[in-house]
Amino acid sequence: MAEHLKTGWPQRVERQQDVIDTVSRILSEVEHEGGPAIRRWSAQLDRWEPESFVVSADRIKAAAETVDEELAGQLEFARSQVEQFARAQRATLTDLEVETMPGVVLGHRHLPVSKVGSYSPGGRYPLIASSIMTVTVPKVAGVDTVVAVAPPRDAQGIYGPQLYTMDLAGADVILCLGGVQAFAALAFGIEDVPPVDLVVGAGNAYVAEAKRQLFGTVGIDLLAGPTEVAVIADESADARLVAADLLGQAEHGPNSPALLVTTSREFGTAVIAEVDRWLDGDWPTKEVAGVAWREHGTVVVCESREEAVQVSDAYAAEHLEVQTADDDWYAANLRNYGSLFIGPEATVAFSDKSIGTNHVLPTARAARYTGGLWVGKFLKTVTYQRLTADGARTIAPSTAAIADAELMHGHALTARLRNP
């Protein structure tokens, strides 16, 4: 039976009533008042009240001048990797047409949504890579208009490298707005920017609640909570490296859970000791990662690799690393995770920033029933039917019989009219 050397992973993410009420108020006011409400909330929450929330071409050009040549090259590398993988994914999604019986042709097409809103967080960390993930991919999918949004960083507006990256990734319009008011602007429109059809991107609890309340008015990618990392490792792994990977994701915030699942009690103890050494030493973000580890770090010792899989699948972590002597076995048997990192060289940071897979992933056990953001999220799979008169006569009797049994006699009539 599994033994917990350390426990802290949240079992449930609670929705706070004050967050729910605040978000509801902002969204309601924006829906009914439009731009004035957006301006009022932006001024109140971000002290940001520009003449226009749409970022000008001159400001984008000025932001580009703040990005040195080396960083620009690395951003282009990351963008190209994300684009390449998204194109490969898109190539797997083919249209279908099949004649299921004489005179009956069925099919489906993958059609991109028209307008997407992409939100890039800018709180403790201005997440430049988020713009690559949430702008590049919908453009690959064929979305006509991507409206990229990020909060102001200072009196100039969006953080320069972040603004540059939004433009590099292919944004058609860029807005400088933060938080709930940003999602309200995307959902209901602002200035000359019409409402979008789908909003994507991560953020804090207010952003997650805004997406929850806006779902139906617009589509959403998923409801993301605090970022998570889990590592399955055994005595063949490097305890110091595993400890670093746990802390690397924990730096996202003091409420970011980190989990180690191991089949070796000795190794679990060694990882705990290595985490403490990092935090007592020169870990660069110890003030955040240390709190996350102390309050939400968990170490579970399992009796077998089968039990390790069961424990991991129960947690259904957003990011799951496997560093064992049986990596291929684990990869074949694990099923609940947002993204899987196989082997000691595959660290979460690679996917977070530049390897090509998308870093918008399910949290809070949502990996039990959904994957993360990908090119398919921006496509609608729509079906169609084409029939000849003979085909209609073949289908009509079963349709009419079922409709009559359901007391839907109008349906039955429309079928029988095609089978005189």
pLDDT tens track for 366-377: 999 999 999 999
Task: Report the helix count and the strand count for the chain, using DSSP H and E.
Answer: 17, 14
Residue type (1 letter), 365: R
Using alpha carbons only, give the angle 207, 212, 217 rounded to the nearest 5 degrees.
110
At 11, the pLDDT band (50, 70, 90 cuts) reads low
Out of 83, 274, 318, 321, pick the active-site residue. 318
At 2, the pLDDT band (50, 70, 90 cuts) reads confident
DSSP 272-321: HHHHHHHHHTT-TTHHHHHHHHHHHEEEEE-SSHHHHHHHHHHH--SEEE
Q: Which residues of 6-28 are buried (b: 16+ CB within 10 A; e: fewer)?
A: bebbeeeeeeeeebeebbeebbe
Residue type (1 letter), 353: K
What's the pLDDT at 35? Answer: 93
Would you state the structure tokens that stand for residue 401, as one six-digit string? 């019989």
150 in Cβ contact with 186 (< 8 Å): no
Helix, strand, coil fractions of the chain, as percent rounded to 5: 45, 20, 35
Q: Is the pLDDT of residue 104 over 80?
A: yes
Place of tokens 């999220």: 377
d(CA 120, CA 163): 10
Residue type (1 letter), 81: Q
Report percent pLDDT > 70 for the chain. 99
d(CA 267, CA 234): 7
Helix (H, G, I), strand (E, B) or coil at 26: helix
Instruction: Average the pLDDT over 160-186 and give the result.
Output: 97
Strand 3-6 versus strand 297-301 pairing type: antiparallel
What's the pLDDT at 148? Answer: 98
Residue of 32, 355, 42 whose CA lies nearest to 180: 42
What's the pLDDT at 9? Answer: 82
Q: Is the dihedral of CA 338, 344, 345, 349 positive or negative?
A: positive
What's the pLDDT at 224? Answer: 84
What's the pLDDT at 1? Answer: 79
φ, ψ of residue 39 in degrees (nearest 5): -65, -40
What's the pLDDT at 38? Answer: 96
Using alpha carbons only, give the angle 209, 215, 218 rounded to the nearest 5 degrees.
125
What's the pLDDT at 14? Answer: 67
Residue of 188, 160, 194, 200 whose CA lies nearest to 176: 160
User: pLDDT tens digits for 300-358?
Assistant: 999 999 999 999 999 999 999 999 999 999 999 999 999 999 999 999 999 999 999 99
285 compared with 8, residue with greater pLDDT: 285
At 22, the pLDDT band (50, 70, 90 cuts) reads very high
Active site residue 108: no
Active site residue 319: yes
d(CA 153, CA 160): 9
Residue of 341, 31, 395 whose CA lies nearest to 213: 31
- Residue ranges of the alpha helices (H) in 34-109? 35-46, 57-64, 69-91
Helix (H, G, I), strand (E, B) or coil at 307: helix
d(CA 361, CA 338): 5
User: pLDDT tens digits for 46-86?
Assistant: 999 999 999 999 999 999 999 999 999 999 999 999 999 99
Instruction: Average the pLDDT over 228-236 and give the result.
Output: 97
d(CA 180, CA 161): 23
What's the pLDDT at 3? Answer: 87
CA 100 to chain centre: 37
Average pLDDT across the chain, whole number: 95
Helix (H) or strand (E) holding 43: helix 35-46
